[in-house]
Amino acid sequence: MRHLTLLFVLIALNSAVNAQPGDSSKPPVIDLSIFSDAAHHWYDINEKGAVILPRPGHPQYKSTEITAIADNIVLFQKDNGGWPKNYDMQAILTADQVDSVQQSKSKTNTTFDNRTTYSHIAYLAKVYNYTKTEKYKTAALKGLDFVIKSQYGNGGWPQYYPLEENNYSRDITYNDDAMAGVMWMLKDIVDGKPEYSFIDNAYRIQLQSAFDKGLDCILKTQINDAGQPTAWCQQYDEKNLQPAWARKFEPPSICNGESPKIVLLLMNIKHPSEEVIYAVQSAVTWFKMSALKGIRIETFDAPEMVTPYRISKTDKRVVEDANAPIIWARYYELKTHRPLFCNRDSKVVYTLAEVQRERRDGYSWYTYEPQKVLNKYPAWRKQWAPGKDVLE
């Protein structure tokens, strides 16, 4: 009996030594899908300026190895608190790769593009909530400092911070969920999500102020055509809040690719103001009006074409199909509301067939994203706008 008791004591001691701080159950399942776009760029594009590149068959941590992934996130965090884009947070790095990343911490190529920075903060918060490991809390707070510091006085966020000279990355950016992603994270904090319980009241007030300013910017940048608010452009001039060019094939326009994420954010606000309700109703009206019926987009094999930008092996075309679900163009022309497309020479065209193949095949010119808003709208309207159904 004495030996058996000693065995139980040793087992208990061993468990205590190996347990992580805060351990009470198996590691939580933390969704990694938000990092997939950046990982895709790292593995498939190998963009210039990357500090490290993947090896063939690069090994990855399992999704359950949350502290190893969090350690990668801490490693990639820059001295200013933000993160660079287009690396895989699940990658198992060599000692040389780790050293290279550490040596680049002072390089300020920090951004919200490709769902960067706010996603890293959110992941660290979840891991800290489980492990209570202080370095994850410290890194998350440093990231939030970066978010506050990078916000414009008018409430918007640029694509990159520190600001770059003579570059569209200075613009207020809705593209790739940059600003919407920051706002969703801040909303989780001000709504009291448990993973952010480590944030004290004084700092929470600052984050609430940042959210409120961001919301004001969103409402001010909803595009108003002839007295009717519609949706949003991908990017806006940071000074005059007017729709702006992004890349050469991304013209100022009403963008149905990026706007649904903004509308869903507005629809998830607790006790929305009249201004928020009006913005949602106007956007839903726009999505109804701009829906395209009777067509689908077909992707088909095509001879391999090597370009300076990418290798194309497929092509796309519009096919008439009376049974196809409704679809939306990514861009609609300001004032005329015609679906529009664009080539890398910045020349606007009005059919997909007129887009050069590399861009026709390599960009999402159509979207089903507004359907997510329309699906959610009936329940939202019943709660917040029962007297007016803009879909009738």
Q: What percent of the chain has pLDDT over 90?
A: 87
Model pTM score: 0.91
Q: Confirm if 133 and 125 have CB atoms less than 8 A apart.
A: no
H or E element, residue 306: strand 295-306
Sorted by where each starts, the structural domains of the chain and their CATH numbers stand as 27-221 (1.50.10.20), 222-392 (1.50.10.20)
Residue 380 neighbours by CB distance under 10 Å: 20
Residue pLDDT, tens place only, 66-116? 999 999 999 999 999 999 999 999 999 999 999 999 999 999 999 999 999
Model confidence band, residue 1 (pLDDT cutoffs 50, 70, 90):
very low
Residue pLDDT, tens place only, 20-76? 444 456 888 899 999 999 999 999 886 778 999 999 999 999 999 999 999 999 999
DSSP labels for 352-365?
A: GGGS-HHHHHHS--
Model confidence band, residue 2 (pLDDT cutoffs 50, 70, 90):
very low
List Cβ<8 Å contacts ≥24 apart for 219-227: 219/275, 219/276, 219/279, 220/154, 220/155, 221/156, 221/172, 222/279, 222/282, 222/283, 223/254, 223/334, 225/254, 225/334, 225/335, 225/337, 226/335
**Closest to 95 (Cα-Cα) out of 103, 87, 84:** 103
Residue 140 to residue 130: CA distance in whole angstroms: 14
Helix ranges restricted to H, the chain: 2-18, 36-44, 66-76, 95-103, 118-131, 134-150, 178-190, 201-221, 259-267, 274-290, 357-362, 370-384
Q: What value, to the nearest 5°, has the Cα angle with vertex 103 and ends 98 and 106?
A: 130
Tracing tokens 């063939």 back to the chain, one arrives at 56
Q: Confirm if 266 and 276 have CB atoms less than 8 A apart.
A: yes
pLDDT at 14: 39
Contacts of 139 (CB under 8 A, 6+ apart): 73, 74, 77, 124
